[in-house]
Chain A
């Protein structure tokens, strides 16, 4: 939201002018991300907008073309060895050896971690698998896992050690409704323990339910960033008036300084079968945050002779906001 990051807030991830080019294509373009510690940070954006690439840069998997990243207060990739043991990550889907069991895969990754005590390895693997509901499939070969099971195993890998920061790239991809809900609960409980969770997702309803902060990417650029409320508030609300007197309603609303439009022609809005509503239409207008209160608009409409049969003020959903920021187009932008 164009808001300057508050320097007093400690940041778990901070990027300054972060840019990554693949050939002539700019996948990440001058991104200034500020992820406060302790937040559950939703990272949104259409397919190909640069979310995964940003995550790769933050984790030191790829080198930035220009700009800086710091994670947990240390610059990356320079301090990678100090930073990454405190970070759990799921990047662009899980990656495991299909010929090993789920538990054996976790054992192998855990033994690659020099800070992970081998004495507690068995117990930690067991606990991580239980946490994602894979306790019963621990001995099964990963090659025989379903998509959602692999995804859960990827999450378990991120949870092997207590972490200060979790970076989860589309964690609920391929999960069933129970799994999705479990992930949400998991993220909440981790956040309650003080872990910062940075989660990229397309599921706006999901993000709305679990995130405290949000950033939106579009074609490689960061187009919005702030708390969930700030982002929602910035979206426009709309008034919707159901009435047969379309022309009068348009006139009154315009006189109030709004920009009304007819969203349903007469006869289309009377869905409830009442005799007197068969000729209703709908007029709606965007509502600026500082415009007059809703009741004053109703009063003006009634005074103007408009038969008001329905009146609602719709707050912008995150989806509206998302589409407003990233565009309607379905095609991949680059």
Chain B
């Protein structure tokens, strides 16, 4: 899965490089038009492309598999009679899913930076606010964005973990988690549900542009972190409530 994620920036970069006319501003994904001027924008473009579907997909697969996958293989009962401890198992599994979120976004960013540097000129970056920062600092900003996206996916991970405690069929838990991430984004796109929007875990997913300004505006990062922490707490508690008393019959 990480390989597939790494392929996305490569695909974007190669496509832009091979096309004769440079991308026009305003068409295609945001930041696409800047790629030809500065290879460092490949990472950001790739993240924007991956956030709506590809990243939630991989996170859904990993988080949905956490408990249901072990139950399906029959390893869950052996972990529990070790005894690994049910709460400890949940925590380890959530930490694992979070680690995957980080690895996934870092993979996109790193792969994007490498292919961008290989195919396009690299130089000081002009931020959205018009200021210019050095290459070193821009890499730091990329990592910050990766951190933002990782945090964005924690709520979904917790949802996946909870769903995974409900079933012994891992594919079911994966599919349900992915479907939820799509539903959240569809609701987020409908103005009729405006009252609901601030509560959707996908609400701040694409709002990392504030990190590309000078000075950095931390409000969206803070709001996002708070929302994701809320989701993690609620669904973590639900997963705990479900799993601690669950009969393990697989």
Contacts and interface: CB of A to CB of B under 8 A. Distances in A.
Interface in A92-111: 92-98, 109
A200 to B, nearest CB: 15
B77 A95 contact: yes
**Interface size for chain A: under 10, 10 to 19, 20 to 34, or 35 or more residues?**
20 to 34
A84 B83 contact: yes
Contacts of A109: 78-79, 82
B247 A91 contact: no
B3 interface: no
A61 B83 contact: no
Interface in A50-67: 56, 59-63
Nearest to B249: A62
Interface residues of B, number: 17
A324 to B, nearest CB: 31
B82 A96 contact: no
B81 interface: yes
B156 to A, nearest CB: 25
A109 B82 CA distance: 7
Contacts of B81: 59-61, 84, 87, 89, 91
Given A95-B78, A97-B75, A85 B249 contact: no
B19 to A, nearest CB: 41
Contact of A112 (B77, B82, B247): B82
Contacts of B28: none
A85 B77 contact: no
A80 interface: yes
A61 B245 contact: no
B247 A61 contact: yes
Contact of A62 (B82, B85, B248): B248
Contacts of A87: 81
Contacts of A136: none
A242 to B, nearest CB: 53
Nearest to B248: A61
Interface string A74-92: 0000001100110101011
Given A94-B74, A97-B73, A63 B83 contact: no
B80 interface: yes
A157 interface: yes
Nearest to B79: A112
B247 A62 contact: yes
Nearest to A116: B82
B103 interface: no
Interface in B179-209: none
B84 interface: yes
A92 B77 CA distance: 10
A112 B75 CA distance: 12
Interface in B64-110: 73-85
A113 interface: yes
30 contacts: A56-B77, A56-B248, A56-B249, A59-B80, A59-B81, A60-B81, A61-B247, A62-B249, A80-B83, A81-B83, A84-B81, A84-B83, A87-B81, A91-B77, A91-B81, A92-B77, A93-B74, A94-B74, A95-B73, A95-B74, A95-B75, A95-B78, A96-B74, A97-B73, A97-B75, A109-B78, A109-B82, A113-B82, A113-B83, A113-B84
Given A91-B81, A97-B73, 9 more contacts: A56-B77, A60-B81, A61-B81, A61-B247, A61-B248, A87-B81, A95-B75, A95-B78, A113-B82
